[in-house]
Amino acid sequence: MTGEGSESLPVLLVEDDVEERWLLSEILRSRGHTVTVCESAEAGLDAYREGLHPLVVLDWVLPGLSGRDFLRAARSLPHGKRSVIVVVTGKEEPTVLREVLDAGADDYVAKPVDQGLLNVRLTIAEREVRAARERERAESELGRKRREIQALFENLDEVFFSVDVLEEELIQISPAVRKVLGYDATELKEDPALWRRLLLPEGRQVLDRVSDLPDGESLTLEHSIDGSATPGTRWIEVHLKPERNVDGRVVRLDGIASDVSERKRSQEELASRNRELLTLHRISELTLEAKSLEQAYDDILGEISRATGFPIAAIETYDSVRERMVISAARGIPLPEDGSSLAIPLSETLTGLVIRTGRPVVESDARTRSEHGHRALRKLDLRTYLSFPMYVSGEVTGALTLAHQEVVPTDARLVRWGGSLANYLATFIDRKRSQEALRESEHRYRALAERLQEANQELETFAYSVSHDLRAPLRTMQGFAHTLLSRFGDELPEEGRDYLRRIVASGRQSEELIRDLLTYSRLSFEEVQVRPVDLNEVVQRTLEQLEADLRDAGARVEVEEDLPRVQGHSSTLIQVLSNLASNGIKFVPEGRKVRLNIHQEDRGNRVRLWVEDNGIGIPEDQQEKVFDAFERLTQTQTLPGTGIGLAIVRRGMERVGGTAGVQSTPGEGSRFWIELPKA
């Protein structure tokens, strides 16, 4: 008997009784786990210190150190709180069982061991281990999201300008004004009303505020601009530093204007995520307080309806035997007066598509769909209709449905949010049913609430840090270095100019890093639709993008003719091949002519596309590491690059359902490959 949806785990078994030890180890191995067996607490602690065992089965009464001693010592280790520990005890007195739990155990089983009950307890423990691993993966994902937001905030494009306050004249403005504000410098200088509106939105009030500033301080303003020159609304941040004459009067303003639209959008997205987290927290509290599923449904659906703005919310369960959806709990949908559920054939509801495809359904006018044919649904006159699959153990067991009688705008955020709610509800329902069947004690709910609250507090702390502490020192450094070099370069010695050029070069390198980070993040979160793609066209467009680099390197490129069609995403594959070919151009020993060979290998129902170069090669022990972000070979440290290019390749292939790898011989070259299903 293997654990439900379980994976093989390293399990530590500490038991001194020979027969019990044999029985417990056989049960654990039958569930697919690798078991380390110890006869004493001392030996068990030694084994536990050597490596993390996510699951421990511990006898309470042992020779020498007791089970209590083991628990206290294990929980004090850095990784001790990450394990689920199940105690086996021959004493069922309430005081003993309380001691077991107070000592740090997660669960217990009484002796003699009932195999059925033990398997139930192990199933619960395995779920807790999986939940802990999911939390670790979520924390890793949160770290990537933090880097994405930071990259979005650090916009390096800025406009530098100076204003003569006495003459109310724009003295100078940098060329970046076209990109940031949508106007040429000449247009602004010739139109005083225009530059005042864009750079000094508060008019004369700005001068009053600047005049009141203490010496050495600057003023920061933020405003939005619209117009034909700047499609859509853009947010501009202006930093103003006054220059005074000997009388202390402000005679000049030096300023920096930056487009902070991405930052504003990121802040709005962050606020939206915080609202979603707050809703999840409220729902979690409702689930913890409920004594049954029926009691929780109404409050949960009410919270979902309030948070999403949809007056109609329903939890539908799939009846696979009768091929129908059963609505047993709903907000805004009248249920039968006798208290029974509303059953709808699968063919008469859009939710049937969710069950068949396993994907969400988003419809802006349900009245036009033939699948929306049941009389109870027609009577509601629904327009906007969203339904999200609820998965349990990899199977769609039901759906969370949101609906509105008006047309409501639906974007990717709402779809993602609805999917998250459905996943959460599916997890809750599965857990609640298991808890009801196993009569789990209330302390597990309190522990879950505390963990969720801690996670929310950590996320809120992160949100505060992102909102208030991130700045853009790099863009300021590069901007002032440019200005200093252009305006005062002739007055500096050659060494000083060299330092400035190095600063500018470092800024460009950082800009490349941020661009790669944005690409990597976009591949992580951007929606990718896989469809048939012509590899001939992908390779041709890739080589066109790299034409200048190939020409400068004097590269010889050989491409196999008549490449097949595959299932993929065109722009993602172009990005992937561009990165592989760029590596072949950059990482070549001095004096060696660049040579690239692109060809395909038929692998049954899949195609492997090879990109071979004659570069420096990759040592065997580093061939897998090079696909990790920021991983660079020792021999490439002095060569250009950000260390993210091959990470983009791996992530891009994952998003389109493909794989990537490399075969390489140091000093001779590398053979990179990507593999995709045939179209």
Q: Tens digits of per-residue pLDDT, 526-560?
A: 677 899 999 999 999 999 988 988 998 889 999 99
Q: Is the model's pLDDT at 515 over the cut of 70?
A: no
**Residue 121 burial by Cβ neighbours in a 10 Å radius (0-12, 13-18, 19+):** buried
Facing residues of 172 across strands? Answer: 162
Facing residues of 36 across strands? Answer: 12
Q: Is the model's pLDDT at 636 over the cut of 60?
A: no
Cβ density class 306-318: b for 16+ within 10 Å, e for less: ebbebebbbbbbb
Facing residues of 566 across strands? Answer: 533, 678
CA distance 597 to 71: 60
Q: What is the pLDDT of residue 33?
A: 92
Facing residues of 644 across strands? Answer: none
Q: Is the model's pLDDT at 445 over the cut of 70?
A: no
Q: Is the model's pLDDT at 597 over the cut of 90?
A: yes
Q: Is the model's pLDDT at 233 over the cut of 70?
A: yes
Kindly report which listed range (454-468, 487-501, 506-520, 625-639) carries the lowest average pLDDT score: 454-468
Pairwise pLDDT comparison (210 vs 555), residue with the higher score? 555
Q: What is the pLDDT of residue 246?
A: 85
**440: number of Cβ within 10 Å:** 15
CA distance 497 to 589: 31
Q: How confident is the model at residue 22 (pLDDT cuts 50, 70, 90)?
A: very high
Contact 32/10 with Cβ under 8 angstroms? no
Q: What is the pLDDT of residue 594?
A: 92
* Residue 140 CB partners (closer than 8 Å, separation 6+): none
Q: Is 394 helix (H, G, I), strand (E, B) or coil?
A: coil
Measured in whole angstroms, the distance separating CA 418 from the mean position of its chain's CA atoms is 16
Which candidate, 230, 120, 125, places its Cα nearest to that of 183? 230
Q: How confident is the model at residue 492 (pLDDT cuts 50, 70, 90)?
A: confident
CA distance 493 to 487: 14
Q: How confident is the model at residue 463 (pLDDT cuts 50, 70, 90)?
A: very low
- Is the preceding peptide bond at 192 cis, omega within 30 degrees of 0? no
Q: What is the pLDDT of residue 518?
A: 62
Kindly report which listed range (312-326, 330-344, 460-474, 617-631) carries the lowest average pLDDT score: 460-474
* 613-618: average pLDDT: 90
Give percent of the chain above pLDDT 90. 26
Range list of H helices, 200-336 = 204-211, 261-289, 293-308
**Residue 340 burial by Cβ neighbours in a 10 Å radius (0-12, 13-18, 19+):** exposed
- Relative orientation angle of helices 570-586 and 535-545, to the nearest 10 degrees: 50
Kindly report which listed range (349-358, 413-422, 453-462, 602-611) carries the lowest average pLDDT score: 453-462
Compute the mean pLDDT over every residue in the chain, rounded to the nearest whole number: 82
Query: Phi and psi at residue 306, in whole multiples of 5°?
Result: -65, -45
**Which H or E run contains 556?**
strand 556-559
The pair of structure tokens assigned to 628 is 């990790």
**67: number of Cβ within 10 Å:** 23
Q: What is the pLDDT of residue 514?
A: 63
Q: What is the pLDDT of residue 277?
A: 80
* 480-507: average pLDDT: 78
Pairwise pLDDT comparison (108 vs 499), residue with the higher score? 108
The pair of structure tokens assigned to 598 is 């692109």
Q: What is the pLDDT of residue 393?
A: 85
Q: What is the pLDDT of residue 414?
A: 85
Q: How confident is the model at residue 460 (pLDDT cuts 50, 70, 90)?
A: very low
* 75-95: average pLDDT: 85
Pairwise pLDDT comparison (459 vs 489), residue with the higher score? 489
Highest mean pLDDT among 154-163, 481-490, 590-599 belongs to 590-599
Q: What is the pLDDT of residue 464?
A: 33
Contact 501/485 with Cβ under 8 angstroms? yes
Q: Is 34 helix (H, G, I), strand (E, B) or coil?
A: strand
Which candidate, 597, 270, 288, places its Cα nearest to that of 466? 270
CA distance 175 to 669: 43
Q: Is the model's pLDDT at 582 over the cut of 80?
A: yes
Q: How confident is the model at residue 626 (pLDDT cuts 50, 70, 90)?
A: confident
The pair of structure tokens assigned to 146 is 């933090």
CA distance 252 to 207: 10
CA distance 582 to 588: 11
**260: number of Cβ within 10 Å:** 18
Tell me the per-residue pLDDT of 117-168, one tens digit each, with 9 for 90 and over: 889 888 988 898 888 888 888 888 887 776 664 444 334 478 889 999 888 8
